[in-house]
Structure 1
Amino acid sequence: ANRLASNSLLEGLVFGARVADDVRGQLAAGALRGAPPAPQRFASPAPPHVLRNAMTSGVGVERDEAGLRKALDVITRLETTSHEPALLNMTAAAKLVTAAALARHESRGGHWRSDFPKTAKAATRTFMTLAEADKIAAGGEALPATRVRK
């Protein structure tokens, strides 16, 4: 471990010096014009906070169909009102997690469905596409997973 740490420190020192030399050369040549403008973040800090709250309250450790559906409604509303790529990535992941939780008609591991408190005898593995999650979010029936894990 000491040898690896020593190598990392030396590499950092050598490449730090090389970067400094390169920047110094670009400054002298007038090639650097300043930092590019920072990318715009969310117009309002509310959307990620709203998504986070919906996931915590509806898709947390204890869940039921009503809470999961309510979370999907919030996710869908955020998707239709936002054009921010980072938020749309968050809502896509949130939708997949929520739709998969809705399709699981049992309690398993650390996640408890109060409307389905029992654990199925055979573990199933859920495969879900975003198109399937979109159908569930639009009010479609969330069918339980049927594939048995081997």
Structure 2
Amino acid sequence: MDSILLAAALSLAESAAPRSAGSTTARLCEAVLDHLEQRIAEPLEPPADWQRPAELGCRCQYCRDLSRFLASPSESTWQLKAVQDVRSHVEQRIQLDQCDLDRTTNKLGRPYTLICTKNQASSERRVRQREQDLADRERLMPLNRV
């Protein structure tokens, strides 16, 4: 919706082409505005505890351990002492699955330790998305008033 239809509606909103009620342009605008309104209506609240979405695209032992950590409402930090290949795999899963985690590597001792600390990245992304949705809605409103 956002990458194609919202972009098209915004482009049409900025053009000076004549529009009429019930036109394809007006219907497109209505659909996009409905989409934006639904997303704007979603609550914007930071997490109440340390629990984060825990669905990962891998089920290996290390990713299951990470998933358990993400699901925990009381743990804010997790450490994985493992060889480079394992640490790299877990870091790739964290990136691919957009986990709300900051990562550092403690290089004291061998093997090194991956340290994961929960953050509020998803909540912050939703706040930025809300701001963008409000701005896009304002840009589309004149097109919807035809």
Shorter-chain TM-score bucket reads under 0.3
Between Structure 1 and Structure 2, which shows a larger proportion of strand residues? 2
For the pair shown, the structure with the greater C-alpha radius of gyration is: 1
